[in-house]
Structure 1
């Protein structure tokens, strides 16, 4: 995908966490899967907010409290799976796509904006799915076929881009780097997928203290290349009851639902 910005969708308004009730944040998360946030100006505030809405889980690169510092380490640029710790472009992806059950939620907060670039790129899996159902239905069917993708290294996970559940729900899972391997049937359709992702892309520059919360089973996230000392705090985890019932992924379009493709559970 080109690194040129393509603001296909207007970004959501930023909600100040110090004055916005958690119930409002939860309602927007349930409705759209994405909430833009403001006034998270301290690391302790970002961690406290994360802990108030999710069970924060540790990660390979996280600190002991579960927060991960996302910055250019100047050591990881050429290592597969470590693109987030460089200053290069980061292709749209699902967080932890190579594990059996990726975390439901991701919080990303800007601790230090870059000198140039580094905009967050977000694409709604529901819009991408509907786009493919309308214009490239064969591609959608193949991208939904079981075990047509393998994400991760030797301990990765065999899966598919779109996983269909009962009650017409769909979850998206994706990576587009060197740790993604594809069925020969799927590979010719990846350009359609990439184009649909870009058509429904939100460009979200983050200033100090701003961030976003997303449903990792619905939204893809990435970023543009940057220069300067960009630093983000990231938390991954499972939703707490305070958010109310949070259904997996999104409801698929009627046209796609009418296709007789198998439903697969993780």
Structure 2
């Protein structure tokens, strides 16, 4: 079902999972776990407030809101799928937010075509993380359709002048296309990292999400031709 939703469906699905072990097993059965600096040796990142990390901690380890983004945009080949599972929920707030890239682009194109054009330019943004750097459009279009999205808001992202001026239009498009939902313990969701943006609203309490990144599905890897990734 996970493979069908990610590879044949629209790239978004919710699921139930009874334990952390079952969550990891499902991820490993589906595809190749993508490593991350904040993950443990199995590839699981625990997204919860971690004040002990000091001022360098990412927003994901606070109780603040996470703006719509994709994961690892500075990587030449980012993770294809994200799996997020709720171990403990928030007292207030903390809703997950997801936005289909096609919907965001359509909203921009209808209300501000110049803004969409700016975000489709090859040098719309420079993403940097550690030793990685990627110059990329926010929306990569193929034959007029969204083929890939990349975005992140942090001190190491640089927008081209036209893209920077269009940020208010992008924010309005996010507001118009956002889907928000709460997650109870044991609930999770899977999302195509190349087709959807995702985020989180601010929260109180001890909300904890577990995240696993998938680099490729087993089925995709088996069917890949020479030179494909």
Q: Which of the residues 50, 55, 61 maps onto 2:27?
A: 50
CA separation in 2, counterparts of 1:215 and 1:65? Answer: 21
User: Which of the numbers 98, 107, 114 marks the counterpart of 2:90?
Assistant: 114
| Structure-1 residue corresponding to 2:191 | 214
Distance, in Å, in 1 between the alignment partners of 2:101 and 2:181 is 17
Cα shift at 1:114:
1.6
1:149 maps to 2:122? no
- Which structure shows the higher helix fraction? 2
Q: Deviations over 1:18-60 (max 9, x none)?
A: xxxx3xx33333321100111x121101101111112112110
What are the residue-to-residue correspondences of 1:80-229 with 2, within 5 Å? 82-153=58-129, 155=131, 156-165=133-142, 168-229=145-206
Residue of structure 1 in register with 2:227 after alignment: none
What are structure 1's unaligned runs of at least 5 residues? 1-21, 247-266
Q: Summarize deviations over 1:121-162 as a string: whole Å, max 9, x none.
A: 111101011112222111111111111211224633221201
Q: Which protein is richer in strand relative to its size? A: 2
Query: Aligned to 1:232, what secondary structure does the other structure show?
Result: strand
Describe the SS at the equivalent of 2:52.
coil
Question: What corresponds to 1:41 in structure 2?
Answer: 18
- For residues 218 and 168 of structure 1, the distance between their equivalents in structure 2, rounded to whole angstroms, comes to 11
Q: What is the TM-score when the length of structure 1 is the normalising length?
A: 0.77
Aligned residue for 2:56, secondary structure, equals: coil
What are structure 2's unaligned runs of at least 5 residues? 224-229
Residues 149 and 188 of structure 1, relative CA distance in 2, 3 Å threshold: same
- Please give the root-mean-square deviation of Cα atoms over the aligned residues, in Å: 2.3
TM-score by length of 2: 0.88
